[in-house]
Structure 1
Amino acid sequence: YAISLEERVAERTAELQRQKERIEAILHSVADGVVVTDRAGNLVRANPAAERLLSSARAEGTDLAAFIRDLALGLLPSAAQSTVVIAGRTYQARAAPVRGEAEGDLGAVVVLRDVTYFKELDQLKSEFVSNVSHELRTPLANLKLYLTLLEKGRPERRATHLQVLNQEVRRLETLIEDILDLSRLETRGTHAERIPLQMDEVVRQVVRSLAPQAAVRNVHLSFEANPVPPVKANRDQIIQLVTNLVANAINYTEAGGKVILTLRVIAREGKPWVALAVKDTGVGIAPSELPHIFDRFYRGERQRHMAPGTGLGLAIVKEILDLHQGWIDVKSHPGMGSTFTVGLPALDATSGEEGPSP
Structure 2
Amino acid sequence: MDDAAQDPSPPPARDAFVASVLEAIPDPVILVDPVLTVVLCNAAARRTWRFVAPGKPLSFALRAPALIRAAEAAVRGEGPISDEYDERVPVQRVFSFRASALPGEAREPGEPAALIAFHDLTEARRLEKMRVDFVANASHELRTPLASLLGFVETLEGPAKNDAVARERFLAIMRAQAQRMSRLIDDLLSLSRIEMSEHRHPDAPVDLAAVARQVVDTLRPLAEDKGVEIRIDSPGPVIVPGDRDELLRVADNLVENAIKYGQAGKLVEITVDSVEDGGRPHGRLSVRDHGPGIAPADLPRLTERFYRAETGDKSGTGLGLALVKHIATRHRGRLAVESRRGEGSTFRVTIPQSNP
TM-score by length of 1: 0.59
Alpha-carbon distance change, 28 to 325 in structure 1, aligned in 2, over 3 angstroms: closer
Where in structure 1 are there 5+ consecutive unaligned residues? 1-25, 32-121, 348-353
Match of 2:69 in 1: 29
The Cα shift of 1:267 comes to 1.0
CA RMSD of aligned residues (A): 2.8
Residue number among 306, 311, 315 corresponding to 2:322 in the alignment: 315
Q: In structure 2, how many angstroms separate the alpha carbons of the residues matched to 1:168 and 1:204?
A: 31
| Aligned equivalent of 2:156 | 150
Provide the secondary structure at the position in 1 that maps to 2:172. helix
Q: 1:343 aligns with which of 339, 344, 350?
A: 350
The question of whether the paired residues in 2 share the 8 Å contact of 1:194 and 1:235 is answered with: no
2:241 is aligned to: 232
Residues 204-219 of structure 1 mapped to structure 2, 5 A cutoff: 204-219=213-228
For the pair shown, the structure with the greater C-alpha radius of gyration is 1
- Partner residue, 2:262: 253
Deviations along 1:65-90, whole A, 9 cap, x unmatched? Answer: xxxxxxxxxxxxxxxxxxxxxxxxxx
**8 Å CA contact 2:134, 2:188 repeated in 1:** no
Give the Å deviation of 1:187.
2.2
Gaps of 5+ in 2: 1-65, 72-127
Question: In the alignment, residue 339 of structure 1 is paired with which amino acid?
Answer: T
Structure 1 residues 216 and 307, CA, compared in 2 at 3 Å: closer, same or farther?
A: farther
CA distance in 2, matches of 1:123, 1:195: 28
8 A Cα contact 1:220 1:256, kept in partner:
no
1:289-327 CA-partner distances (Å, limit 9, x unpaired): 111111111111x23x32311111111111111111011
Match in the other structure for 2:144: 138
Alignment of 1:279-358 (within 5 A): 279-300=288-309, 302-303=310-311, 305-347=312-354, 354=355
Q: How many Å separate the matches in 2 of 1:30 and 1:168?
A: 55
CA contact (8 A) 1:178 1:312 kept: yes
Work out whether 1:277 is the aligned partner of 2:286.
yes
Cα deviation 1:12-37 (Å, max 9, x = unaligned): xxxxxxxxxxxxxx999259xxxxxx
Deviation at 1:164, TM superposition (A): 0.5
Deviations 1:194-228 (A, max 9, x none): 31111111111111111111112111122111224
Whether 1:159 and 2:168 are equivalent positions in the alignment is: yes
Identical aligned residues as a percent: 38
Question: Partners in 2 of 1:182 and 1:340 — Cα distance?
Answer: 19
Change in Cα spacing, 1:224 to 1:230, as seen in structure 2 (3 Å) is same
Indicate which of 174, 181, 184 corresponds to 1:172. Answer: 181
Identify the residue that residue 43 of structure 1 maps to in structure 2. none
Task: State the distance in 1 between where 2:240 and 2:68 align.
Answer: 46
C-alpha distance in 1 between matches for 2:67 and 2:232: 62
TM-score (norm 2): 0.60
Structure 2 vs 1, CA of residues 226 and 146 (structure 1 numbering), >3 Å: closer, same or farther?
Answer: same
Aligned counterpart for 2:190 among listed residues 170, 174, 181: 181
In the alignment, the residues of structure 2 paired with residue 223 and residue 161 of structure 1 have an alpha-carbon distance, to the nearest angstrom, of 40
Q: In the alignment, residue 173 of structure 1 is paired with which amino acid? A: S
Counterpart contact for 2:202–2:331, Cα < 8 Å? no
Asked if the contact 1:275–1:343 (Cα under 8 Å) also holds between the matched residues in 2, the reply is yes
Paired position in structure 2 for 1:17: none
SS in 2 for 1:306: coil
* Alpha-carbon distance between aligned partners in 1 of 2:68 and 2:315, rounded to the nearest angstrom: 57
Question: How far apart in 2 are the matches of 1:139 and 1:181?
Answer: 20
C-alpha displacement at 1:148, in angstroms?
Answer: 2.1
Given the superposition, is the C-alpha separation of residues 135 and 186 from structure 1 closer, same or farther in structure 2, using an over 3 Å criterion? same
Shift in alpha-carbon separation, 1:270–1:222, aligned structure 2, 3 A: same
